[in-house]
Amino acid sequence: MNFSENFNCDAFIGHRTLLYGNLNTKKTYYTALFVQFLLEAKKVDPKKITILYFAPKLFKFYNVKIGGKIEDFYPFSIKCKNISFKGDIFPVIISSDNKISCENACNNYKRLHEILNIYYENPTSILIINDISYYLHLGNKKFVLKIIKESDTFFGNSHYSSSMSKDLNNLFNRREKYCVEFLIKKIDFAYLTD
C-alpha cells in the first residue's frame, strides 16, 4: 500500500507500522511527524517513547539526501528516550569498494545489535526505529520482529529498493529487500513511500 501525505496518526497508535521505500522518499520526515503528533497532540510522556537511531547523519550522495535523524525534522524528539551510540553509521549499499562495504556492515551490525539489546532490557510502550535496513544487512529479522513486538505501538522506517547495484552490494541489497518483505508480512501496517 502506498503512503499518503495526509496520513492519520491516530490510526497508528496501538499498532505496528513500517514505512519502506527508496532513498529520499521522506521516510524519516514522516516518522518525525508521528513523534511530533505523539508529543504535541496526544501529550504522551516522552519517557514512554524510545527512538532507536540506525541511520547515518544526513548527507548527500549524487545530489540525493541519505540518512538523517528524527531531530533533524523535529528537534523536540530529543525529549524522548533516544538510544544511539557514539560515532557514525556507515553506508553499505552505496560504497563501490566491497571490502569497505563488508567492514561497514559488520561494524554497523555490532553497534546496532547492542542498541536493540538495550531497548529489549528496558522496553517502552512506544518504539520508533529510524532505518531498520542498516541492521538487516547482517542482523536477524526474527530478532527485530521480537523487539518490535515488545512495544504496544511501533513506527519505523526502512530503505527498500527494487533496483540492484553491482557486486557484493547486490547481496546486501537483496538481503535487505528480503528482510523488509518478511517484516511487511508480520506487522499491522506497511506503506511504500514514493
Please give the share of the chain, as a percent, with pLDDT higher than 70. 87
- Average pLDDT, integer, range 165-179: 73
pLDDT the model gives residue 22: 87
Strands (E), 54-107: 59-61, 64-66, 81-83
Position 79 confidence tier, pLDDT thresholds 50, 70, 90: very high
Homologous superfamily (CATH) of 13-160+185-193 is P-loop containing nucleotide triphosphate hydrolases (3.40.50.300)
Cα dihedral sign, 106-180-25-35: negative
pLDDT the model gives residue 1: 66
pLDDT digits (tens, 9 = 90+) for 92-137: 655 667 788 788 888 889 989 999 999 999 999 999 999 999 899 8
Which of 13 and 4 is assigned the larger pLDDT?
13
Cell of 4: 499518503
How many Å apart are CA 76 and CA 71, to the nearest integer?
A: 7
Which of 71 and 171 is assigned the larger pLDDT?
71
Would the pLDDT of 48 be above 80?
A: yes
Position 167 confidence tier, pLDDT thresholds 50, 70, 90: very low
Q: Strand, coil or helix: what is 36?
A: helix
pLDDT digits (tens, 9 = 90+) for 17-43: 999 998 888 999 999 999 999 999 999
If you count DSSP H runs as helices and E runs as strands, how many of each does the chain have, helices first?
6, 8
Would the pLDDT of 61 be above 80?
A: no
